[in-house]
Amino acid sequence: YSCIDGVLEDFFDEFGPENVGISLPSLRTETMSERLASQIKRVRKSGFTVAPEAATERMRRVINKGNAERDLLNAVDTVFTAGWDLVKFYFMIGLPTERDEDVRAIVTLSAEALRRGKKLNPRAQINVGISIFCPKPFTPFKWDPMISFEETERRQAMLREELRKLGRGYRDLHVKPHDARQGALEGALALGDRRLATAVLHAYRRGQRLDGWTEHFSLETWQEAFAEAEREHGVGLGFFAHREKGEGEALPFDHIDCEVTKPYLWKARMAALKEAAVPDCAYGEEICTACGACDYEVVDTIVYHPEDYRRQPAPALQRAPAGRTLLRLRYAKEGVAVALSHLETMTALLRTFRRAGLSMPHSEGFHPKPKVSFGPACPVGTESHAEYLDLELFGMQDSAEVADGIRLNLPEGFRVVSCDVLRPGGPSLARTIRGITYRVELPEDAPDAALRLAEFAAREEASVMREREGKQPVRIDLKKSVDCLVAENAREIRFTLRAGENEAVARPSELLAALFGTELTRPGVARIVRENAIFGIPAA
């Protein structure tokens, strides 16, 4: 899009004072400019992803990319000179006609970019994402095979070896290939016909769900599924994904008219294999390759020129109201909102405040954020009537009016309980909340609550080891974490867990597991409600 610089300037003139930033998708290497970088960092330095896609001039000619190596290196110079510490690259392996030297060049080119970046910014880092090329319908390469799982692993091993050869001096170059196991299926899912449904149904029946997450993905199950399709139809994974198709072969999606003709796509494929450039009609109406997309009545070529873009007059700057108001908001999470994590809750509420038109001061630095501090995280699946946050606003605000504005813009499942003005300079929420009270409604088949609580009270010691990703496990003393534990009746208990700013404290699920076993901690088995927070004066 050739007018991006002017659009960004207008956007930040309008919304920059409200601290609205922009994140761009992956950029062509030749798009990156000092003017673009200077606009992006007016609010916050969102990340830059540059997409050369191929690392050699020959491969870029094959995929008809008009950029050169110098464009990528110039983009790196621009980003690191403008003050960024990190830039991301996006490459592919498995492109048609790719050779081993094309794969190795990914690491070589990335290493050269890091060398240049370090001269401009000693903190420079480059993350390199490397996906596996997957042919798609309605593209020139839909006739080409996707590389096999074994070949993907071989090329990824080549990348790791090239990175190892660079040595410790390139520890700020991080190369992350796509999961080869998932890549093996993508070609079949993209290009397969109705017989593919047999494999998908078989995998579903074997329990496959959420396969985009590596911990849920099972290559063995999917291989069995495609073997089942081959037994039933005579075609399997190799037929769908890993073979070259003929020019005249009927493809599963040929009956769908996308306007761009099949003969044109074959012609473009032949041009790619000969490394011949196909011009882009976006750069001029006189450049037409007769692809079939335009009928020049309803659909026509749109050509934009930067010099045609008319800048909008910059809006007058609005001064922030004098003074500040600090508010403490108590809110409830009920219904569908209990499924939100703490981070998702924070995002939902910050968007609510923006919709309500609240004028919020922001922090300084590269990533300005609203001055909002949230109370202790509420476990996912737990209903709460006692969530807290402290919110700072420009000007002298009326708490009742602020609460009404928030109520009108809250998403489903959230409810304002109270909104009070605080005196400035007081202790933070994290330091003043000393405990949190919970009520748990047990299922009908649960053990007797009073009996289990008596057994817990009689134990000399009760603790749990909490696993932490990338860190040592931490031991939680349940006895010290619980201030009050009572059975209201055989099917209901109430307890207070201590809250600490710098200490590990028990979670409701950990206490329930110690009392009744892990079965009651499964979602939907017991109803857990956070009822109240206990405030206290922090120790000096």
The enclosing domain of 356 has a CATH number of: 3.30.70.580
- What's residue 319's pLDDT? 66
Same domain as 362, residue 500: no
Q: In this predicted model, which residue has the larger pLDDT, 267 or 67?
A: 267
Instruction: Please name which of 221, 232, 288, 219 lies closest in space to residue 260, comparing C-alpha atoms.
Output: 288
User: pLDDT tens for residues 318-372?
Assistant: 666 678 899 999 999 999 999 999 999 999 999 999 999 998 888 876 677 889 9
- What's residue 503's pLDDT? 67
Same domain as 99, residue 71: yes
Same domain as 133, residue 56: yes
User: pLDDT tens for residues 61-105?
Assistant: 999 987 889 999 999 999 999 888 999 999 999 999 999 999 999
Same domain as 414, residue 334: yes
- Within 8 A by CB and 6+ apart from 197, the residues are none
pLDDT at 255 over 90: yes
Confidence class for position 202, pLDDT limits 50, 70, 90: very high
pLDDT at 115 over 90: yes
**Domain around 380:** 320-426
Same domain as 378, residue 455: no
One-letter amino acid identity for 22? I
The enclosing domain of 34 has a CATH number of: 3.80.30
Count of structural domains within the chain: 3
Q: In this predicted model, which residue has the larger pLDDT, 501 or 266?
A: 266
Q: In this predicted model, which residue has the larger pLDDT, 139 or 4?
A: 139
Residue 269 is assigned to a structural domain of this protein:
yes
DSSP secondary structure letters along 302-366: ----GGG--PPPPPPPPPPPSSEEEEEEEEEE-GGGGGS-HHHHHHHHHHHHHHTT----B--SS
Same domain as 181, residue 44: yes
Tell me the average pLDDT of the chain: 89
Same domain as 271, residue 341: no
Residue 446 is assigned to a structural domain of this protein:
yes
> Which pair of structure tokens corresponds to residue 461?
């010691």
Same domain as 442, residue 418: no
- What's residue 42's pLDDT? 82
- Out of 279-288, 332-341, 422-431, 515-524, give the one with best mean pLDDT: 332-341
Report d(CA 362, CA 392) in Å as an integer: 9
Q: In this predicted model, which residue has the larger pLDDT, 103 or 517?
A: 103
Q: In this predicted model, which residue has the larger pLDDT, 391 or 540?
A: 391
- What's residue 123's pLDDT? 93
β-strand partners of 173? 126
Same domain as 501, residue 372: no
Residue 130 is assigned to a structural domain of this protein:
yes
Same domain as 526, residue 395: no
Residue 216 is assigned to a structural domain of this protein:
no
Same domain as 521, residue 503: yes
Q: What is the DSSP letter of 370?
A: B
Choose the final residue of a domain: 405, 426, 447.
426
Same domain as 273, residue 133: yes
